Structure 1
Amino acid sequence: MNLLNPAHNAPLRRAFLLCLRSIGVPRPCYFSQNIESREPPIPLPKDHNGEPVHQKRARLLYQSRKRGMLENGLLLSTFASKYLNSMTEDELMEYDMMINFPSNDWDLYYWAAGVRPVPPEFNTSIMKKFQEHVKNENREERLAQPDLY
């Protein structure tokens, strides 16, 4: 194919011209102004102080099931199904912090799997319990999220 022949390169030329036009057009930048970080700013989780315990458990169960990645959805939903109803209020706060404060679901996954060291602020009793759950020493089958009821 001869790229210099106008009949053969019309789609390529059109795409190139569109790129040239878009380069000079200023667009709002939703990314951080920090040059080293090109990730969009992530909002902090809402403050849930004063939330009734039954409502907190329901919210955490929902958030455990609806994750950004399937692996964490399976691990957290099975963990929540097994332990959430027996957690104290302090443990519920730790669990809330564990699943809502890391800005990336992959961080949580790598910490739980032992691939990366857990930062001190997340190295709690709930994280240790979650890491044991992830090891799955009893070889439980975790192919789908547990039923809600």
Structure 2
Amino acid sequence: MTRFNTPGFIEDPVDKNESIEIRRKRLKFRSWHRGIKEADILLGSFADKFLQDMPADELDKYETLLREADSDLVAWITGDREPPEHYNHEVMQKLRSIDYIKILK
């Protein structure tokens, strides 16, 4: 079982029989309902912009990212810290590419 840096958070394994539409809806909901407002804004805005067109392999990477702690995700996305090598992929680059300041205005 993979352990994530999210204390107290237990998530079921990915259901390989879940339709892509349901998966996108579930990931969008999880993106907007994180627990801290900063993560909600960053991940929810990202989900609104990119999830609909993401291929399955990128959805896998994004879903794995969502299992990490909000504080780590916010730091990696904003550039306060570099993400671990295994998270420094095209999905992280997309997360970092959004101008979140424009979203807040």
Provide the TM-score with structure 2 as the length reference: 0.84
Which structure dedicates a bigger proportion of its chain to helix? 2
Q: Distance in 2 between matches of 1:90 and 1:76?
A: 18
How many residue pairs were aligned? 99
8 Å CA contact 1:72–1:105 kept in 2: the answer is yes
Residue 83 (structure 1) aligned to one of 25, 50, 57: 50
Matched, 1:42 2:8: yes
Any idea what SS the aligned residue of 2:66 has?
A: helix
Equivalent residue letter for 2:102: E
Instruction: Specify the structure having the higher radius of gyration (Cα).
Output: 1
How do 1:63-142 and structure 2 match up within 5 A?
63-100=30-67, 102=68, 104-133=69-98, 136=99, 140-142=102-104
> Please, what is the CA RMSD of the aligned residues?
1.9
Give ranges in structure 1 of 5+ residues lacking alignment: 1-39, 144-149
* Cα 1:48–1:131 shift into 2, 3 Å: same
Give ranges in structure 2 of 5+ residues lacking alignment: 1-5
Q: Which structure has the higher relative contact order (CA within 8 Å, separation 6+)?
A: 2
